[in-house]
């Protein structure tokens, strides 16, 4: 493994100043600019920005309460509120195109047709450097969770591949016995990279006389420090199974944690829950990562 002295790296052709990006839905770049002005973007904490997940039609999100503080993390049930493809393309996308870093648009749908309409509509937009496919939802035709079935994942990616020359990054759910076969299926379908882990299914329960689910939607996804070792295991499994770049995420709170994920097989890491508590966490983690030779690990391959 060579020792790099430069932080710069790349993710399936997208050039990055350093290996720390954000996890979708955990950092609102537009809100940061509204709150803190252009200074928030001049010292942007990430080397690429992954948008909040958009869907074909607008979504209001889940009923409250939506967040639960767990013993070592957080359970969220936000429900992907967004303006829909048309609203995103007409408003947010233009402003996000002014970011000082590449923009990766996260998309989710419950049918291949809806995925295709979103990719096809955005493929030629200059603001977009790549796409992240959130495959954690069921296919309305088969009833199967797309990202839990290798055949569903492969056929979805294969159907989208001709629609854009821009990178397709498939974001996998950890709620399967083994993510490696799913990642291999995404690679066969034509994916350019894999990102993982998404949140782990969880359902906080109310204490008291009336025992019932605490979240408005009944259940949500666990993230934060409590999922870190799950992420390390999944990234290592997937990194060994595919020849694609891996974006590792799950419980990164420090540069040490980021370095561990890079050593486990990730080429790039994504900060998520830590940004809720500290919007500048990405900057701190990047600085700390330098002390652990994170860039050198990103350029190496622990499986070969």
Does a cis peptide bond (omega within 30 degrees of 0) precede residue 197? yes
Question: Which residues are registered as beta bridge partners of 138?
Answer: 145
Residues known to be catalytic: 137
């Amino acid at each position: 493994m060579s020792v790099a002295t430069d932080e710069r790296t790349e993710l399936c052709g997208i050039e990055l100043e350093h290996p720390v990006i954000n996890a979708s839905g955990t950092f609102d770049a537009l809100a940061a600019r509204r709150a803190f002005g252009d200074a928030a973007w001049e010292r942007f904490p990430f080397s690429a920005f992954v948008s909040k997940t958009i869907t074909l039609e607008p979504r209001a999100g889940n009923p409250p309460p939506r967040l639960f503080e767990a013993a070592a993390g957080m359970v969220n049930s936000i429900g992907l509120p967004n303006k829909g493809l048309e609203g995103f393309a007409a408003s947010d996308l233009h402003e996000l195109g002014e970011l000082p870093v590449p923009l990766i648009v996260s998309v989710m749908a419950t049918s291949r047709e809806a995925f295709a309409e979103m990719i096809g509509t955005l493929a030629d937009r200059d603001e977009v450097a790549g796409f992240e496919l959130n495959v954690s939802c069921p296919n309305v035709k088969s009833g199967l969770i797309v990202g839990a079935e290798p055949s569903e994942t492969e056929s979805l990616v294969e159907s989208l591949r001709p629609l854009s020359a821009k990178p397709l990054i498939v974001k996998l759910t950890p709620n399967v016995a083994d993510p490696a076969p799913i990642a291999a299926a995404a690679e066969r379908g034509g994916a350019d990279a894999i990102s993982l882990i998404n949140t782990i299914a969880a359902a906080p329960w109310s204490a008291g006389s009336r025992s019932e689910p605490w979240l408005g939607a009944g259940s949500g996804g666990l993230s934060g420090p409590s999922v870190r070792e799950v992420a390390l295991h999944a990234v290592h499994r997937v990194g060994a199974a595919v020849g694609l770049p891996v974006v590792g995420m799950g419980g990164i709170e420090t540069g040490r944690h980021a370095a561990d994920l890079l050593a486990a097989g990730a080429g790039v890491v994504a900060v998520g829950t830590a940004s809720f508590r500290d919007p500048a966490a990405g900057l701190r983690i990047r600085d700390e990562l330098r002390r652990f030779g994170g860039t050198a690990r990103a350029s190496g391959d622990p499986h070969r």
